[in-house]
Amino acid sequence: MLLLYLPCPPMKKRIAIITPQIDSPTESFIQCHIEFLEGDKLVYHGADIPNKLNGNGLYKPPGFASRAVRKIQNRLKKETLQPKTKAFQDSLIAEKPDAILIEYGHIAAQVIDIIQPTGIPIIVHFHGYDSAQYELLARYQKEYKRVFAYASRIVAVSNAMRERLISLGAPADKVVYSCYGPHPDFALQRGEFAPSKQLLAIGRFVDKKSPHLTLFAFSKVLQEYPDAKLVMIGEGTLLPMCKDLVQFLNMENNVEFTGALKRQAIIDNMKNSLAFVQHSRTAEDGDKEGTPVAVIESQLFGLPVVATKHEGIADIVLHNETGFLVDEGDWMLMSEYMKKILSDFELARAMSSKARKRIESGFLLSHHIDTLNNLIDDVIRQRNPKV
Protein backbone atom coordinates (compact mmCIF):
# COMPACT_ATOMS: atom_id res chain seq x y z
CA MET A 1 0.00 0.00 0.00
CA LEU A 2 1.33 3.41 -0.98
CA LEU A 3 1.28 5.97 1.81
CA LEU A 4 1.35 9.64 1.00
CA TYR A 5 2.78 11.97 3.61
CA LEU A 6 1.58 15.51 3.17
CA PRO A 7 3.07 18.47 5.05
CA CYS A 8 1.00 19.69 7.96
CA PRO A 9 -0.91 22.89 7.20
CA PRO A 10 0.21 26.01 9.08
CA MET A 11 -1.31 26.39 12.52
CA LYS A 12 -4.26 28.75 12.58
CA LYS A 13 -3.13 31.49 14.88
CA ARG A 14 -3.55 35.13 15.69
CA ILE A 15 -0.31 36.90 16.58
CA ALA A 16 0.38 40.44 17.71
CA ILE A 17 3.58 42.19 16.64
CA ILE A 18 4.67 45.15 18.74
CA THR A 19 7.12 47.53 17.08
CA PRO A 20 7.86 51.24 17.57
CA GLN A 21 7.41 51.91 13.84
CA ILE A 22 6.52 50.01 10.70
CA ASP A 23 7.95 52.06 7.86
CA SER A 24 11.60 52.67 8.74
CA PRO A 25 13.91 51.94 5.77
CA THR A 26 16.64 50.87 8.22
CA GLU A 27 14.41 48.23 9.83
CA SER A 28 13.62 46.04 6.83
CA PHE A 29 13.82 42.98 9.10
CA ILE A 30 10.68 44.13 10.93
CA GLN A 31 8.87 44.70 7.66
CA CYS A 32 9.80 41.13 6.68
CA HIS A 33 8.35 39.81 9.94
CA ILE A 34 5.09 41.63 9.27
CA GLU A 35 4.97 40.45 5.67
CA PHE A 36 6.09 36.83 5.93
CA LEU A 37 5.15 35.44 9.35
CA GLU A 38 2.20 33.04 9.30
CA GLY A 39 -1.17 33.77 10.86
CA ASP A 40 -3.52 36.70 11.30
CA LYS A 41 -1.34 39.62 12.34
CA LEU A 42 -2.17 42.47 14.66
CA VAL A 43 0.55 45.10 14.30
CA TYR A 44 0.74 47.46 17.28
CA HIS A 45 2.94 50.48 16.64
CA GLY A 46 3.28 54.24 16.82
CA ALA A 47 5.26 54.76 20.05
CA ASP A 48 7.21 52.90 22.72
CA ILE A 49 3.83 52.04 24.23
CA PRO A 50 1.77 51.45 21.08
CA ASN A 51 -0.98 53.88 20.21
CA LYS A 52 -2.02 52.33 16.89
CA LEU A 53 -3.25 48.96 15.66
CA ASN A 54 -2.75 48.26 11.95
CA GLY A 55 -2.63 52.02 11.32
CA ASN A 56 -5.70 52.95 13.38
CA GLY A 57 -5.51 54.89 16.63
CA LEU A 58 -6.28 52.96 19.83
CA TYR A 59 -7.10 55.84 22.14
CA LYS A 60 -10.24 57.93 21.91
CA PRO A 61 -10.40 61.09 24.05
CA PRO A 62 -12.83 60.60 26.94
CA GLY A 63 -16.07 62.48 27.36
CA PHE A 64 -16.86 64.89 30.20
CA ALA A 65 -18.15 62.15 32.54
CA SER A 66 -14.98 60.08 32.14
CA ARG A 67 -12.81 63.09 32.87
CA ALA A 68 -14.81 63.78 36.00
CA VAL A 69 -14.39 60.18 37.18
CA ARG A 70 -10.66 60.33 36.55
CA LYS A 71 -10.36 63.55 38.59
CA ILE A 72 -12.10 61.89 41.51
CA GLN A 73 -9.81 58.86 41.20
CA ASN A 74 -6.76 61.12 41.20
CA ARG A 75 -8.00 62.92 44.32
CA LEU A 76 -8.44 59.59 46.05
CA LYS A 77 -4.98 58.60 44.78
CA LYS A 78 -6.42 55.41 43.37
CA GLU A 79 -4.00 53.67 41.05
CA THR A 80 -5.21 53.62 37.46
CA LEU A 81 -3.55 53.00 34.15
CA GLN A 82 -2.94 56.04 32.00
CA PRO A 83 -5.74 56.28 29.40
CA LYS A 84 -3.48 55.54 26.40
CA THR A 85 -1.83 52.66 28.22
CA LYS A 86 -5.22 51.23 29.16
CA ALA A 87 -6.37 51.56 25.54
CA PHE A 88 -3.45 49.35 24.49
CA GLN A 89 -4.16 46.76 27.20
CA ASP A 90 -7.91 46.78 26.45
CA SER A 91 -7.14 46.16 22.77
CA LEU A 92 -4.99 43.14 23.59
CA ILE A 93 -7.75 41.72 25.78
CA ALA A 94 -10.37 42.33 23.09
CA GLU A 95 -8.31 41.04 20.16
CA LYS A 96 -7.14 37.90 22.02
CA PRO A 97 -3.87 37.17 20.18
CA ASP A 98 -2.46 33.69 20.80
CA ALA A 99 1.04 35.11 21.25
CA ILE A 100 2.92 38.41 21.01
CA LEU A 101 6.20 39.07 19.17
CA ILE A 102 7.88 42.15 20.64
CA GLU A 103 10.50 43.86 18.50
CA TYR A 104 13.36 45.23 20.67
CA GLY A 105 14.14 44.42 24.28
CA HIS A 106 13.61 47.94 25.57
CA ILE A 107 10.11 48.00 24.05
CA ALA A 108 9.37 44.78 25.93
CA ALA A 109 10.66 46.47 29.09
CA GLN A 110 8.14 49.29 28.67
CA VAL A 111 5.12 47.09 28.00
CA ILE A 112 5.81 44.08 30.24
CA ASP A 113 3.68 45.37 33.12
CA ILE A 114 0.82 46.03 30.69
CA ILE A 115 0.97 42.62 29.02
CA GLN A 116 1.68 40.36 31.97
CA PRO A 117 -1.80 40.73 33.55
CA THR A 118 -3.36 39.54 30.27
CA GLY A 119 -1.52 36.22 30.45
CA ILE A 120 -0.66 36.34 26.73
CA PRO A 121 2.73 34.69 26.08
CA ILE A 122 5.48 36.80 24.53
CA ILE A 123 8.52 36.26 22.35
CA VAL A 124 11.05 39.10 22.63
CA HIS A 125 13.25 39.77 19.59
CA PHE A 126 16.46 41.68 20.38
CA HIS A 127 18.17 43.48 17.50
CA GLY A 128 21.37 45.25 18.59
CA TYR A 129 21.68 48.31 20.79
CA ASP A 130 18.84 47.04 23.00
CA SER A 131 21.24 44.36 24.29
CA ALA A 132 24.36 46.50 24.58
CA GLN A 133 23.94 50.25 25.02
CA TYR A 134 25.15 51.13 28.52
CA GLU A 135 22.59 53.80 29.42
CA LEU A 136 19.68 51.73 28.13
CA LEU A 137 20.75 48.63 30.05
CA ALA A 138 21.10 50.66 33.25
CA ARG A 139 17.71 52.32 32.77
CA TYR A 140 15.82 49.07 32.22
CA GLN A 141 17.82 46.75 34.46
CA LYS A 142 14.83 45.81 36.65
CA GLU A 143 12.40 45.65 33.73
CA TYR A 144 14.71 43.35 31.76
CA LYS A 145 14.67 40.88 34.66
CA ARG A 146 10.86 40.83 34.51
CA VAL A 147 10.96 40.45 30.73
CA PHE A 148 13.41 37.52 30.96
CA ALA A 149 11.24 35.84 33.60
CA TYR A 150 7.93 36.22 31.73
CA ALA A 151 9.05 35.73 28.13
CA SER A 152 8.51 32.29 26.65
CA ARG A 153 11.36 32.76 24.15
CA ILE A 154 14.04 35.39 23.53
CA VAL A 155 15.56 35.79 20.06
CA ALA A 156 19.17 36.89 19.51
CA VAL A 157 20.47 37.70 16.03
CA SER A 158 24.12 36.84 16.72
CA ASN A 159 25.96 34.32 18.85
CA ALA A 160 27.70 37.15 20.68
CA MET A 161 24.30 38.69 21.49
CA ARG A 162 23.02 35.36 22.77
CA GLU A 163 25.91 35.09 25.22
CA ARG A 164 25.46 38.70 26.30
CA LEU A 165 21.73 38.24 26.99
CA ILE A 166 22.50 35.18 29.11
CA SER A 167 25.09 37.22 31.03
CA LEU A 168 22.37 39.84 31.63
CA GLY A 169 20.16 37.22 33.26
CA ALA A 170 18.18 35.64 30.43
CA PRO A 171 17.73 31.88 31.00
CA ALA A 172 19.91 30.04 28.51
CA ASP A 173 17.12 27.62 27.57
CA LYS A 174 14.93 30.52 26.48
CA VAL A 175 17.48 32.31 24.27
CA VAL A 176 17.38 31.24 20.62
CA TYR A 177 19.88 32.32 17.95
CA SER A 178 18.22 33.22 14.67
CA CYS A 179 19.95 35.54 12.25
CA TYR A 180 17.96 37.75 9.89
CA GLY A 181 17.62 36.74 6.29
CA PRO A 182 18.04 38.81 3.13
CA HIS A 183 15.06 39.81 1.06
CA PRO A 184 14.60 37.31 -1.82
CA ASP A 185 15.07 40.07 -4.40
CA PHE A 186 18.81 40.02 -3.72
CA ALA A 187 19.03 36.48 -5.08
CA LEU A 188 16.67 36.93 -8.01
CA GLN A 189 18.41 39.87 -9.69
CA ARG A 190 22.06 38.91 -9.54
CA GLY A 191 23.79 38.81 -12.91
CA GLU A 192 27.21 37.51 -13.96
CA PHE A 193 29.98 38.56 -11.58
CA ALA A 194 32.04 41.05 -13.58
CA PRO A 195 35.29 43.01 -13.04
CA SER A 196 34.82 46.35 -11.36
CA LYS A 197 36.79 48.91 -9.39
CA GLN A 198 33.75 49.90 -7.32
CA LEU A 199 33.37 49.12 -3.62
CA LEU A 200 30.00 49.45 -1.89
CA ALA A 201 29.03 50.45 1.65
CA ILE A 202 25.43 50.42 2.90
CA GLY A 203 24.28 51.60 6.30
CA ARG A 204 23.41 54.49 8.55
CA PHE A 205 26.14 57.05 9.17
CA VAL A 206 26.38 56.40 12.91
CA ASP A 207 29.17 55.68 15.36
CA LYS A 208 28.85 51.88 15.48
CA LYS A 209 29.25 51.65 11.69
CA SER A 210 32.21 54.12 11.78
CA PRO A 211 31.95 55.18 8.12
CA HIS A 212 34.90 57.53 8.62
CA LEU A 213 37.19 54.53 9.19
CA THR A 214 35.98 52.98 5.94
CA LEU A 215 36.89 56.28 4.26
CA PHE A 216 40.35 56.31 5.85
CA ALA A 217 40.90 52.76 4.57
CA PHE A 218 39.72 53.74 1.10
CA SER A 219 42.06 56.74 1.02
CA LYS A 220 44.99 54.30 1.21
CA VAL A 221 43.47 52.21 -1.57
CA LEU A 222 43.53 55.22 -3.88
CA GLN A 223 47.29 55.48 -3.55
CA GLU A 224 47.58 52.28 -5.61
CA TYR A 225 44.24 52.31 -7.42
CA PRO A 226 43.47 55.95 -8.26
CA ASP A 227 40.52 54.89 -10.45
CA ALA A 228 38.78 52.99 -7.65
CA LYS A 229 35.35 54.17 -6.51
CA LEU A 230 33.46 53.91 -3.23
CA VAL A 231 29.68 54.26 -3.18
CA MET A 232 28.19 54.88 0.28
CA ILE A 233 24.43 54.40 0.64
CA GLY A 234 22.62 55.75 3.69
CA GLU A 235 21.98 58.74 5.91
CA GLY A 236 22.76 59.67 9.49
CA THR A 237 24.33 62.14 11.87
CA LEU A 238 27.90 61.45 10.70
CA LEU A 239 27.16 62.06 7.02
CA PRO A 240 28.13 65.79 7.03
CA MET A 241 31.42 64.96 8.78
CA CYS A 242 32.14 62.21 6.24
CA LYS A 243 31.50 64.58 3.36
CA ASP A 244 33.96 67.04 4.93
CA LEU A 245 36.49 64.22 5.32
CA VAL A 246 36.18 63.25 1.65
CA GLN A 247 36.82 66.85 0.67
CA PHE A 248 39.79 67.11 3.04
CA LEU A 249 41.32 63.91 1.59
CA ASN A 250 40.69 65.06 -1.99
CA MET A 251 38.46 62.08 -2.79
CA GLU A 252 35.46 63.92 -4.26
CA ASN A 253 35.94 62.21 -7.63
CA ASN A 254 36.15 58.74 -6.08
CA VAL A 255 33.45 58.72 -3.37
CA GLU A 256 29.72 58.99 -4.03
CA PHE A 257 27.15 59.60 -1.27
CA THR A 258 23.72 58.54 -2.49
CA GLY A 259 21.59 59.06 0.60
CA ALA A 260 19.03 56.41 1.50
CA LEU A 261 17.89 54.30 -1.44
CA LYS A 262 15.06 51.85 -2.05
CA ARG A 263 15.79 48.16 -2.57
CA GLN A 264 15.92 48.19 -6.37
CA ALA A 265 18.37 51.10 -6.43
CA ILE A 266 20.57 49.25 -3.91
CA ILE A 267 20.52 46.16 -6.14
CA ASP A 268 21.48 48.28 -9.15
CA ASN A 269 24.53 49.53 -7.23
CA MET A 270 25.44 45.98 -6.25
CA LYS A 271 25.44 44.98 -9.93
CA ASN A 272 28.24 47.50 -10.54
CA SER A 273 30.32 46.63 -7.45
CA LEU A 274 33.16 44.23 -6.75
CA ALA A 275 32.85 43.97 -2.95
CA PHE A 276 30.95 45.19 0.10
CA VAL A 277 32.88 47.09 2.81
CA GLN A 278 31.91 48.08 6.36
CA HIS A 279 33.91 48.90 9.48
CA SER A 280 31.46 48.17 12.30
CA ARG A 281 32.71 48.58 15.87
CA THR A 282 31.47 49.03 19.44
CA ALA A 283 30.44 52.66 19.93
CA GLU A 284 31.55 54.71 22.92
CA ASP A 285 28.10 54.33 24.51
CA GLY A 286 28.29 50.54 24.15
CA ASP A 287 26.03 50.36 21.11
CA LYS A 288 26.67 47.34 18.88
CA GLU A 289 25.31 45.85 15.71
CA GLY A 290 23.13 42.77 15.76
CA THR A 291 23.90 41.23 12.39
CA PRO A 292 23.87 43.91 9.66
CA VAL A 293 21.29 42.87 7.08
CA ALA A 294 23.30 44.58 4.33
CA VAL A 295 26.18 42.15 4.93
CA ILE A 296 23.86 39.19 4.42
CA GLU A 297 22.15 40.73 1.40
CA SER A 298 25.49 41.54 -0.22
CA GLN A 299 26.75 38.00 0.25
CA LEU A 300 23.55 36.51 -1.17
CA PHE A 301 23.96 38.81 -4.16
CA GLY A 302 27.47 37.47 -4.54
CA LEU A 303 29.70 40.24 -3.20
CA PRO A 304 32.78 39.39 -1.12
CA VAL A 305 32.81 41.33 2.16
CA VAL A 306 35.62 43.28 3.81
CA ALA A 307 34.52 44.08 7.35
CA THR A 308 35.31 43.73 11.05
CA LYS A 309 35.04 40.84 13.51
CA HIS A 310 32.09 42.58 15.09
CA GLU A 311 29.08 40.77 16.55
CA GLY A 312 27.08 38.84 13.93
CA ILE A 313 29.38 39.75 11.05
CA ALA A 314 31.75 37.05 12.30
CA ASP A 315 28.88 34.53 12.17
CA ILE A 316 28.18 35.29 8.52
CA VAL A 317 31.52 36.08 6.82
CA LEU A 318 34.17 33.35 6.67
CA HIS A 319 37.62 34.94 6.72
CA ASN A 320 39.69 34.11 3.62
CA GLU A 321 36.72 32.26 2.10
CA THR A 322 33.76 34.61 1.60
CA GLY A 323 35.62 37.79 2.48
CA PHE A 324 38.13 39.29 4.89
CA LEU A 325 37.69 40.29 8.53
CA VAL A 326 39.83 42.64 10.62
CA ASP A 327 39.84 43.70 14.26
CA GLU A 328 37.73 46.72 15.13
CA GLY A 329 39.72 49.90 14.50
CA ASP A 330 42.30 48.29 12.20
CA TRP A 331 41.48 50.34 9.13
CA MET A 332 45.01 49.95 7.77
CA LEU A 333 44.57 46.18 7.42
CA MET A 334 41.10 46.77 6.05
CA SER A 335 42.73 48.87 3.34
CA GLU A 336 45.12 46.04 2.49
CA TYR A 337 42.24 43.62 2.05
CA MET A 338 40.38 46.10 -0.14
CA LYS A 339 43.45 46.28 -2.36
CA LYS A 340 43.74 42.50 -2.41
CA ILE A 341 40.19 42.21 -3.72
CA LEU A 342 40.81 44.88 -6.35
CA SER A 343 44.05 43.26 -7.48
CA ASP A 344 42.80 39.69 -7.89
CA PHE A 345 39.56 39.29 -9.81
CA GLU A 346 39.72 35.49 -9.75
CA LEU A 347 39.97 35.57 -5.96
CA ALA A 348 36.99 37.93 -5.81
CA ARG A 349 34.96 35.68 -8.10
CA ALA A 350 35.76 32.58 -6.03
CA MET A 351 34.73 34.41 -2.86
CA SER A 352 31.57 35.58 -4.60
CA SER A 353 30.50 32.00 -5.33
CA LYS A 354 31.28 30.79 -1.80
CA ALA A 355 29.50 33.79 -0.24
CA ARG A 356 26.28 33.12 -2.07
CA LYS A 357 26.34 29.39 -1.35
CA ARG A 358 26.93 30.07 2.35
CA ILE A 359 23.89 32.33 2.65
CA GLU A 360 21.75 29.92 0.65
CA SER A 361 22.79 27.04 2.92
CA GLY A 362 21.64 28.54 6.20
CA PHE A 363 20.92 32.26 6.25
CA LEU A 364 18.01 32.81 3.87
CA LEU A 365 14.98 34.77 4.98
CA SER A 366 12.96 31.55 4.84
CA HIS A 367 15.26 30.01 7.47
CA HIS A 368 14.70 32.93 9.85
CA ILE A 369 10.95 33.07 9.27
CA ASP A 370 10.64 29.29 9.73
CA THR A 371 12.45 29.58 13.06
CA LEU A 372 10.13 32.33 14.26
CA ASN A 373 7.02 30.49 13.06
CA ASN A 374 8.14 27.36 14.91
CA LEU A 375 8.88 29.33 18.08
CA ILE A 376 5.46 30.96 17.96
CA ASP A 377 3.74 27.60 17.36
CA ASP A 378 5.61 25.99 20.27
CA VAL A 379 4.71 28.85 22.60
CA ILE A 380 1.03 28.61 21.64
CA ARG A 381 1.00 24.82 22.15
CA GLN A 382 2.62 25.20 25.56
CA ARG A 383 -0.22 27.50 26.55
CA ASN A 384 -2.92 25.37 24.94
CA PRO A 385 -1.80 21.76 24.27
CA LYS A 386 -5.07 21.03 22.45
CA VAL A 387 -4.16 23.38 19.57
- Write down the mean pLDDT value for the chain: 91
Q: Both ends of the chain: CA-CA distance in Å?
A: 31
CATH number for the domain whose boundaries are 185-362: 3.40.50.2000
Whole-angstrom distance, CA of residue 307 vs CA of residue 324? 6
Beta strands in 89-165, from DSSP E residues, in sequence order: 99-103, 122-125, 153-156
pLDDT of residue 23: 78
pLDDT of residue 66: 53
pLDDT of residue 27: 80
pLDDT of residue 4: 43
**Domain 14-181+365-383 matches domain 185-362 at the CATH topology level:** yes
CATH 3.30.300.30 fits 14-181+365-383, yes or no: no
What is the SS3 assignment for 124-146? EECCCHHHCCHHHHHHCHHHHHH
Beta strands in 163-293, from DSSP E residues, in sequence order: 175-177, 198-202, 229-233, 255-259, 275-277
Domain spans in the chain, listed from the N-terminal domain onward: 14-181+365-383, 185-362
Distances 167 to 116, 131, 161 between C-alpha atoms, Å: 24, 11, 10
Whole-angstrom distance, CA of residue 285 vs CA of residue 129? 10
pLDDT of residue 363: 94
pLDDT of residue 75: 52
Q: Which amino acid is at 267?
A: I
Whole-angstrom distance, CA of residue 309 vs CA of residue 156? 17
CA 229 from centroid of its chain's CA atoms: 28
Q: Please identify every stretch of the chain with a pLDDT value under 50, giving residue numbers as ranges.
A: 1-6, 64-65, 69, 72-73, 76-79
pLDDT tens, position by position, 334-351: 999 999 999 999 999 999
